[in-house]
A and B are shown apart, each in its own frame.
Chain A
């Protein structure tokens, strides 16, 4: 019998274990893992010498072995997760929701106040909106520089990330962080590490929405 046929038979025999695997003891499991490793390295050596047809069989067998190993590991991972999940601390969702709502709401209220002030002083609505965004972006960057915004973000979560000040924070924080690597490879290259995805996908989505609007 060819080597790969023996390996295939052993593989098939192990496939029967998938169901009983969770109940097996650690030594038995380790032996199975060892058996897979041993067969795997045999295949690795056989592959380069094999002619085309046989090689396909070997490659298929190796893929099966790797899948089998992964499947067994996944069962172990699941068992472990079932054990550890109850031990993990749970975040206080209610408190987090309230904080996010209050802080996010406050930032937006401040924005609305600024906008009303602009409009009361004769700025047209469209320009007032632009000026307000600019001011809020400045404030976000300013408080990042003072080291306040991360303290706020720690408590408010999405409440301070989602508004435009959060966007300014992500740009300013990256700029501060990478200043030491110089203005080209540091600030210039990495200023959008966090904000970049927002810009890329924001632009993409706006194009899509523009297309929908057009047609």
Chain B
């Protein structure tokens, strides 16, 4: 009998794991955004000096974010019991190669841009079940590697539609521990795939909004809470349009929408010409560090991150399939 499960899809963590350290690395464009002061390292160029490919730089970012997180608390990779990581590239190579560097027991995960929330849910479950004392979770995305895999060559002179989002160049690592004090992960809701027939890879916010809504609604029902019980409901990368749609869906459900925001909307300034905002694993991957910092400062006490993912591939897009959307909710509390 599942004793630590609430309702249909929510995991309750009775020994709520603590996020005891984190590290973030971002690209130059994210470094010009409004949150630049919260990141550990801002790269001067999308391609790090000495790297021969953007893929190499992305892998480097993930590795460096992990090194920041470890060094801040004086640990090394061998102090981690498990390492969960994922990214957007085929066969999650950034994560695989980062794990090769750290020599830790590794589980590669893929949930597109929801990977951070997926990793935190699994990490917290491992800790809570007594299988680990410390777990690392990393995610990364890189604008150029994602563009060339999913869309057009980067120097191709095309007009991006206004609904398109800008893949964030960024990597974030979060270290979770079974003991200690700090920001806790108290519950998590595993989402279902929702697909309402949106097939446009340049409109992923519209494709993912129903999944975010479904997970949020289920979470609130499972926990018997209202949106007002959260100081902040933050989605991963719905972007400007997706966030508007989510708010509309919430209004239809009779929810208040005052405390709803989106990582993809926060990460860039409007004049940065990203159209609908940021996306990618690295979007929630780096913006979460800002939110955690704000929690430590006492601005938020209870936050739910709804990590949203558009589970498409270039092949499925060309074959005319619609985009399955997913969202996982992770609740952070600090008091």
Contact = CB atoms under 8 A, between A and B. Distances in A.
Contact of A89 (B148, B162, B198): B162
B315 interface: no
Nearest to B196: A80
A99 B195 CA distance: 37
Contacts of B153: 170, 173-174, 176-178, 193-194
Interface residues of A, number: 41
Interface string A170-192: 10111011101000000000000
B155 A87 contact: no
A73 B197 contact: yes
Interface string B296-310: 000000000000000
Contacts of B52: 180
A84 B206 contact: yes
Interface in A58-98: 73-74, 76-78, 80-81, 83-84, 87-91, 96
B245 A150 contact: no
Contact of A169 (B156, B245, B248, B322): B156
A91 B161 CA distance: 8
A118 to B, nearest CB: 26
Contact of A74 (B160, B197, B210): B197
Contacts of A156: 157
A194 B155 CA distance: 12
The secondary structure that dominates the A interface is: helix
A132 interface: no
Contacts of A174: 153, 156
B79 interface: no
Interface in B137-158: 148, 152-158
B155 A149 contact: yes
Given A77-B196, A83-B248, A88-B241, A154 B157 contact: yes
A196 interface: no
A157 interface: yes
B244 interface: yes
B24 to A, nearest CB: 26
A160 B158 CA distance: 9
B155 A177 contact: yes
A111 interface: no
Given A73-B197, A77-B196, A89 B241 contact: yes
A152 interface: yes
Nearest to B214: A26
Contacts of A73: 195, 197
A14 B52 CA distance: 58
Interface residues of B, number: 32
Given A76-B196, A166-B157, A88 B206 contact: yes
B53 interface: yes
A38 to B, nearest CB: 17
Contacts of B248: 83, 87
B3 interface: no
B159 interface: yes
Interface in A19-75: 73-74
A173 B276 CA distance: 25
Contact of B155 (A91, A150, A160, A180): A150
B235 to A, nearest CB: 15
Nearest to B249: A83
Nearest to A85: B206
B163 interface: yes
Contacts of A151: 157
A81 B275 CA distance: 20
Contacts of A83: 245, 248
A74 B198 CA distance: 11
Which of B53, B156, B195 has the most chain A CB atoms inside 10 A of its CB? Answer: B156
Given A84-B245, A177-B148, A153 B206 contact: no
Nearest to A175: B153
Interface in B290-335: 322
B245 A149 contact: no
B159 A194 contact: no
Nearest to B56: A180
A172 B153 CA distance: 10
Given A153-B156, A176-B155, 15 more contacts: A76-B197, A77-B197, A84-B209, A87-B244, A88-B162, A89-B162, A89-B240, A89-B275, A96-B159, A153-B157, A154-B159, A156-B157, A157-B158, A166-B157, A177-B153
13 contacts: A77-B197, A80-B210, A81-B198, A84-B241, A87-B245, A89-B240, A153-B158, A169-B157, A176-B155, A177-B153, A177-B155, A194-B152, A194-B153
Q: Which are the 4 A-B pairs with shortest beta-carbon distances?
A: A153-B157, A77-B197, A177-B153, A173-B155
